[in-house]
Chains A and B, each alone.
Chain A
């Protein structure tokens, strides 16, 4: 069928900020969808509150609204844009929920808008537990014994009937939020209570547990003519019980016989037909490992994280094809954009093994519960491709960028006894794979591990192979490591540094051997068809075999290093930067090559770069590719800290680093050199010094005076950074920090309690352009990634801005920056400006700054890196003229997914994503940003005030304002007395009842700060966690509270906030003609 001609304008709904369970995959799918629609001549309108995305770029859609994805805002956009259709299945659960809401509110009908792709009925059939169960039963597909309950009594009745374990899943939530497995009544009551609260429709599904069965997924597509195809089957290494987002996943399925495969394939097609899905969907099965019994666990009636993985695993562009289906095209009418010779109607055949490994945030959240269950905890994931399972798994582990001592991370469990290891194996947790390796190494039999973990013997045997080869290499020693054994080690996926570790020789010794043989990897093509047809898509992976698929062109090439998995501190913004860099290189007529390993992103899309190498970002893998492609140089400044960290080692190997030199990077990152530079430039920095021992640290702290800010010298996202208030706390910190990094010293700086600001600049080595300055709402001490940031600064004076600009320009020039840089400042109460740090790379705020100012920062920076001058590009040096619009960046957290983590804001970054609010008025912009971040600001109700002694005066002042705005105050005894003393009316809440107040909806906002400076109290922690779990907004910074008060006061004055499209504010006005 030709495409639906009635559809001329389509509204695409994005997924909003990155949170656990909804990450970069929806930028990939959303961008592909917009592109696919535009190709068909359709006008695309987009809404997404996440600015750090390619999909919110001006050229992705015709009209881009970076606005909160709320029903009110979407309604306004619909009124203004009058789209013919709406595409909601590309924006994750957020998009789907919005579609349901729009339909329920009658908005689609009122404006005659067609819901494209999967219908509302189909969404409901897949998402509503009861309807789903009924639909499955009608077609004879089994689902686990289950029931839907809307209150706790019914839940308990079911549990008494079927017994434990029972799985609890709230309806209409993402990433399994609020779900879990209960093994006894106590756990059951707790999880159910929480789940009921979190579900949009106050519904939870209780389900008989099939834990231990194989978890198999199918990615299925169906078009309007009822053609159905399977894109990819995937097998979770971890059996049912661990959320698929937290499982190691292998594609295609490895342990199914054809009979089992076809049984589930046929079931998948039956299911997608019964649900009448038009587009893609993901179906999860639990398969009994000892019979043909299976049950359908879940269907996602939309593109998902799994479909992004399936897309990258096979090369089949699921999102693109699903969007074409949504506007009426059929599978046999859509070209296969990989081969250009075949059609989208086929089932990809692959001739390699793909392994996905999740990236968890536990390195940031030391107190977090590391066990894995039905609630997803990973922030991101990596994928690797190999010709053996072992190779793909080890490459994936290498891609995690978790700084393991060596590839298998075995050192982690070195001191564990067999019994301790077996205990770890019993319950799934993030490091289990390493514990299995260690157990095998200690001689635990494969069968024993299979029995404990229920992981298929096929996989454990493969892990045993890895352990065996490691053992063989170790025993051979450098003397007997011959070509055959070395090749065996390479084929199984060992990096040279791991081989060197096993042999206990320097890496260079192994490299010499490798040169001597010589051994080089070959690169194979990902082509959707296992080599059956010629393919044009330049998408490669390395392996150790005989023949190479890569054709090296004679064009001038530049290699861009990507940023790897999404993690706290290094998010989607660096993928945004990498993609823009690659696009600019192509614009300049250069061949762009990208290396990355994140399957969720746009940078790993098959048509983003001229060549894509899906590889770990290790020195070895990058050097191999450089040797193969011989690029002019490589660009490291857009791939976050991962890429920057490679600069030094690659430079030593003679690789040309384009842009800012390695020497300059070193000066910026080496504390002592940096201090010397600032001294020369006469730019102030908070007093501080480097300590190599505890006593040294104490001496420094006492000299400069507490509080001090302490951190290890090399940092990623503020890791292990803390404000310390006295000797004892410092001693404790030093114990921990030195453990983290024995080679690197600890930095101790005077903590300045002032306003933070930051600058993103572009420099060509001589001239410096500062697109703008961000002012942070929260004072220094809250990680910049967790602060609300406002552009242009709302309270900084002209003088201070001049000082900031002057320092930025002089620093960039002195460092001879070529490309982007970011500088963090703090301004003390006397208006004195200090530099805190310089990052010689792209920063988190680059996408926002680019969007609000209209200066395409990465594009300009890439051109400078390739030799252009700012002036030639038409940019006047200095601080660009401020926009008449205000942009506010607000952080977004995923605390709901991570139990036992304190939600208190600190120098350690905790947020997983961010949103942007834009308006002419900064308070409205702030309001929009807060709404978009998911903070529902109550207009009235009860505010629970739980403060500490040290900041009580400030808290009282804030509480007073809440009171004046009509909020009722609640407080426990100490706070209540202080409020009473200040003459502010409040209700006394007994300390032992305060949590009940939160749980029973008697609190609409919580204000909770530390008991003592820097020390979270036990009650405070309980209050914060409880409000998090019961979805009550909780403010932990007085600055945030003040800002919100400002918004509340202002909102009552003005009417409803308006909406603005990107092109209405992102016009760069300072550009010389």
Chain B
């Protein structure tokens, strides 16, 4: 099955299709993790995006029933250099092509992924279209331009529709689900927490109605600036309950505290990103997937306590007076290192 990726600027990469045929449009991002492809494609923060893996051999372990980060595949498309045809792992329950077909994912393989990565690195992340139907670049470019503007608020596609309640004997957590990874829920369950998973549309009062000990705002996809109602809801919680923002939740909390957000040139997507924590003096390796970042100088009462060692972007903040803090990455992601789990421990301890 011939297939092609055409980028916004007209650059194209012909290759071969896998999974389903058809056409798909999304923002093209790259992820540098060498393991964890199953976790990545099921991570809701990739909703609407076409993900390229920089590691050339993907699918070596096939897919299993346990490692997905959400109930379904979230990526809009998936690009690899080579998809493993003969996966082997003791937990493997389904082969690679079969998995993508069953999940209706349009995949592209056999392209020079490093060239694509270098292109995005130099030009910035951009939209692309994958098609198995047409190889005419001009036609595809037109379709791409027409289809680009949809899906501005992908959070609503991935959040729970109704509140979900998970019993527990420990602290009561309200988890505002903007597209959380399962790993986060697993963590709280492991610590015996009672969890109320709430839809993104929940108001401050609805959150408070659960009378939680603490509120966690999860990670998720998209531009936080497109979600003013969420910013407002969070503003209504500040000072009332201890708050911890993760990823998109961290950005929204920052906005709610008066901060600003900017778009990164090509984002951070990988499992090897070094974060320095000024409160411990230590560096941690974190798993990240974001295209936006909070600007430093959120407000006078908020201090940036963590930065990315490579490019100094804000990775964590805390309010000097109120129990409000946030981190840009998932502290317990599956599909990534477990180094920064202390963030959650610390949060639970304060409740």
Contact = CB atoms under 8 A, between A and B. Distances in A.
B56 A387 contact: yes
Contact of B283 (A253, A269, A331): A331
A258 B56 contact: no
A963 interface: no
Contacts of B39: 258
Interface stretch (B108-116, B142-150, B189-197, B243-251): B108-116
A533 B32 CA distance: 11
A288 to B, nearest CB: 8
Contacts of B282: 225-227
A254 B61 CA distance: 8
A257 B38 contact: yes
Interface residues of A, number: 56
A223 B113 CA distance: 34
A440 to B, nearest CB: 13
Interface in B219-265: none
Interface in A279-333: 289-291, 330-332
Interface string B6-42: 0000000000000000000000001011111111000
B148 to A, nearest CB: 25
A789 B294 CA distance: 69
Contact of B115 (A258, A343, A457, A545): A545
A261 B56 CA distance: 17
A389 B283 CA distance: 33
A269 B339 contact: yes
Interface string A452-486: 00001110010000000000000000000000000
A532 B270 contact: yes
A388 B82 contact: yes
Contacts of B271: 347
Interface string B34-55: 1111110000000000000011
Interface string B74-85: 000000011011
Contacts of A350: 34, 55
Interface stretch (B88-96, B198-206, B210-218, B298-306): B88-96
A346 B276 contact: no
B276 A332 contact: yes
A530 B34 CA distance: 10
A253 B34 CA distance: 9
Contacts of B54: 349, 351, 530-532
A623 B282 CA distance: 49
A996 interface: no
Contacts of A228: 339
B309 A351 contact: no
A289 B90 contact: yes
Interface in A253-269: 253-259, 261-262, 265-266, 269
A385 to B, nearest CB: 11
Contacts of A446: 86
Given A254-B57, A266-B338, A351-B113, A346 B121 contact: no
Contacts of B273: 346
Contacts of B285: 229-230, 346-347
Interface in A340-382: 341-343, 345-353
B169 interface: no
B31 to A, nearest CB: 9
A257 B112 contact: no
A353 B87 CA distance: 17
A254 B55 contact: no
Contacts of A531: 30, 54, 114, 117-118, 121
Contacts of A1053: none
Interface in B310-351: 310, 334-339
Nearest to B37: A258
Interface string A798-833: 000000000000000000000000000000000000
Given A349-B272, A351-B54, A258 B283 contact: no
Nearest to B341: A266
Nearest to B63: A257
A285 to B, nearest CB: 15
Contact of A262 (B115, B272, B337): B337
Contact of A257 (B32, B64, B81): B64
Contact of A352 (B56, B276, B281, B335): B56
Given A259-B67, A346-B272, A530-B54, 16 more contacts: A225-B281, A225-B282, A225-B283, A226-B282, A253-B35, A254-B57, A255-B61, A257-B61, A258-B35, A265-B337, A343-B309, A351-B32, A351-B56, A530-B117, A531-B118, A532-B117
20 contacts: A225-B283, A257-B35, A257-B61, A258-B334, A258-B335, A259-B66, A262-B337, A291-B90, A346-B285, A347-B285, A349-B272, A351-B54, A458-B84, A458-B87, A461-B88, A531-B114, A532-B54, A533-B310, A545-B112, A549-B114
Interface of B: 30, 32-39, 54-57, 60-61, 64, 66-67, 81-82, 84-91, 111-115, 117-118, 121, 270-274, 276, 281-285, 309-310, 334-339
- Leading 8 A-B pairs by shortest Cβ distance: A258-B36, A547-B115, A347-B272, A461-B86, A530-B54, A349-B32, A457-B88, A531-B117
